[in-house]
């Protein structure tokens, strides 16, 4: 069951009748909020249309109730005071509150879309895109973005889910992830996984034609390095090396990568299939075995830390670039 909203309902400045207020919002919990037509009209096409309709004449009755004495039009709204407090604070003061839960944010977003309050929707969208303001579960954010058609938020959140293994993906607060949206997310994760793993992965090619061939020789093509003078290319130690082509500008350098470097690439590829984010390739569990193996070679041991660290940084950036290029079908 979805959690319920828990927006704070403190006394509000809008409950105080200012002389220049010209309309009253009557909330679902029967609070009267004194507001200004001009503000609502500018912010909302729904209110603008409503205020353009012929308004009932003031009652001029003999009642002594406070509302009747105000002589202002009353607009009933189906949200409670807490929701309208947030909306009005955002409209009047341009303050975006710190929402305690994504369900709180959802009820405000629901009202913003109902009344066509574009400014409110944009501010919430901005808050959801700011990681410091949005500490929520990425799947919750993705679900919310799909429900309210916030494409940039959906893309951002889908990418954030990549840091979590599939079995840890769950929406903690929203339990209304539409099946089709979830399916699109899974398809996106598969494409992101392939793109990330492809940066580290070796391929098999026919050495005669250079074309991909399952029965061919292991080969690595790299087009994202600033140089080709790394010790794992320059040295000829150890076994299990792999042919590679390193493209620098318009030149292609045919090199042989050392066995410990190839083993690192294989570990990185496996890790990226689990978690397709660039930072994964810097994990000590992936790099330390390469440092240890290179330590057995007199030449490599002097250069491996600096060289592999630089290589790994370049690869992490390339992984993030490859994943960022994967489209989310929204």
Asked if 328 touches Zn ion (CB under 5 A), the answer is no
Q: How far is the CB of 223 from Zn ion (least distance, A)?
A: 24
Whole-angstrom distance, CA of residue 64 vs CA of residue 21: 20
Q: How far is the CB of 232 from Zn ion (least distance, A)?
A: 8
Give the DSSP H or E segment for 248: strand 242-248
Asked if 202 touches Zn ion (CB under 5 A), the answer is no
Nearer to Zn ion, 198 or 295 (CB): 295
Q: Which of 299, 302, 317, 321 binds Zn ion (CB under 5 A)?
A: 299
Nearer to Zn ion, 82 or 235 (CB): 235
Q: How far is the CB of 235 from Zn ion (least distance, A)?
A: 3
Is 203 within 8 Å of 220 (Cβ atoms)? yes
Nearer to Zn ion, 219 or 233 (CB): 233
Put residue 60 in one of left, alpha, beta given phi > 0 → left and psi -120 to 50 → alpha. left
Place of tokens 């919990």: 29
Nearer to Zn ion, 148 or 232 (CB): 232
Asked if 235 touches Zn ion (CB under 5 A), the answer is yes
Q: Which of 300, 308, 319, 328 binds Zn ion (CB under 5 A)?
A: 300
Q: How far is the CB of 301 from Zn ion (least distance, A)?
A: 8
Sign of CA dihedral 103, 104, 109, 112: positive
Nearer to Zn ion, 88 or 237 (CB): 237
Q: How far is the CB of 218 from Zn ion (least distance, A)?
A: 19
Nearer to Zn ion, 219 or 230 (CB): 230
Asked if 290 touches Zn ion (CB under 5 A), the answer is no
| Paired tokens of 98 | 């710190």
How many residues touch Zn ion under the rule CB under 5 A: the total is: 5
Listed in sequence order, the residues at least 6 apart from 139 whose beta carbon sits closer than 8 Å to its beta carbon are 157, 161, 169, 170, 171, 177, 185
The beta strand positions in 60-153, using DSSP E, are 74-76
The residue range among 163-171, 188-196, 266-274, 295-303 that interacts with Zn ion, by the rule CB under 5 A, is 295-303
Q: Which of 237, 246, 268, 308 binds Zn ion (CB under 5 A)?
A: 237
Rg, C-alpha atoms of the chain: 30
Listed in sequence order, the residues at least 6 apart from 176 whose beta carbon sits closer than 8 Å to its beta carbon are 2, 143, 147
Asked if 302 touches Zn ion (CB under 5 A), the answer is no
Distances (CA, A) of 68 to 59, 64, 74, 83: 8, 7, 10, 25
The residue range among 23-31, 181-189, 202-210, 227-235 that interacts with Zn ion, by the rule CB under 5 A, is 227-235
Q: Which of 177, 297, 304, 319 binds Zn ion (CB under 5 A)?
A: 297
* Chain positions contacting Zn ion, by CB under 5 A: 235, 237, 297, 299-300
């Amino acid at each position: 069951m979805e959690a319920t909203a828990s927006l704070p309902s403190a006394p509000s400045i809008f409950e105080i009748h200012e002389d220049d207020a010209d309309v009253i919002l009557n909330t679902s919990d029967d609070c009267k909020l004194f507001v200004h037509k001009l503000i609502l009209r500018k912010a909302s096409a729904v209110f603008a249309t409503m205020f353009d309709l012929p308004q009932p004449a003031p009652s001029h009755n003999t009642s002594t109730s406070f509302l009747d004495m105000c002589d202002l039009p009353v607009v009933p709204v189906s949200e409670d005071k807490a929701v309208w407090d947030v909306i009005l604070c955002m409209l009047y003061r341009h303050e975006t509150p710190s929402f305690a839960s994504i369900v709180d944010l959802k009820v405000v977003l629901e009202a913003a879309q109902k009344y066509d309050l574009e400014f409110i929707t944009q501010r919430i969208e901005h808050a959801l895109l700011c990681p410091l303001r949005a500490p929520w579960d990425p799947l919750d954010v993705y679900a919310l973005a799909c429900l309210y058609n916030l494409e940039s938020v959906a893309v951002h959140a889908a990418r954030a889910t990549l840091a979590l293994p599939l079995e840890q993906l769950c929406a903690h607060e929203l339990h209304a992830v539409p099946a089709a949206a979830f399916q699109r997310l899974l398809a996106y994760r598969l494409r992101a996984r392939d793109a990330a793993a492809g940066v580290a992965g070796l391929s098999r090619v026919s050495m005669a034609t250079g074309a991909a061939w399952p029965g061919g020789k292991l080969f690595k093509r790299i087009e994202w390095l600033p140089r080709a003078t790394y010790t794992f290319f320059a040295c000829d130690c150890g076994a299990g090396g792999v042919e590679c082509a390193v493209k620098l500008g318009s030149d292609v350098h045919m090199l042989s990568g050392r066995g410990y470097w190839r083993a690192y690439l294989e570990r990185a590829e496996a890790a990226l299939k689990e978690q397709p984010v660039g930072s994964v390739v810097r994990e000590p569990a992936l790099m330390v075995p390469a440092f240890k193996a290179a330590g057995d070679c007199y030449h490599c041991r002097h250069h491996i830390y600096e060289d592999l660290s630089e290589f790994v940084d370049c690869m992490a950036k390339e992984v993030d670039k490859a994943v960022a290029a994967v489209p989310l079908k929204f």
